[in-house]
Amino acid sequence: MKLDINKIDLDQLAQDFRMESIKWYDKEYFIWFVKSVVLCRDVKQTGVPFRRMYKNANNFMLVKDKNTALLDYRNKGQDNWDCIPTHLLHGEKYYLCWTYE
């Protein structure tokens, strides 16, 4: 999914879980998390901004299991992808994943 940073659609981002089951304040956290990752100026303490490190980042998804992203991206012929984990939300860890060139 192409990401519009001004209109983040969590229902489209969620791949292996239902966003309806997530509490409103956790949805707000997800929106903040996605924006903070994509607008980051220092990815993984490298000093390199997200948009430069991950050129043409695309196919964003939120998943509970990184293997969901791995299988989806491999089925689409995408070898370059990465994920960043969220904080634990009620004992569950989620991942924001994307492809890049």
| pLDDT score of 1 more than 70 | no
Q: What's the pLDDT score for residue 31? A: 93
Percent of the chain surpassing pLDDT 90: 40
Distance between CA atoms of 52 and 11, rounded to whole angstroms? 27
Distance between CA atoms of 63 and 13, rounded to whole angstroms? 8
Distance between CA atoms of 19 and 35, rounded to whole angstroms? 18
> What average pLDDT does this structure show over 9-38?
91
| pLDDT score of 93 more than 70 | yes
Q: How confident is the model at residue 62 (pLDDT cuts 50, 70, 90)?
A: very high
State pTM to two decimals: 0.86
Cα-based distances in Å from 20 to 10, 30, 69, 78, 96: 10, 13, 20, 29, 18
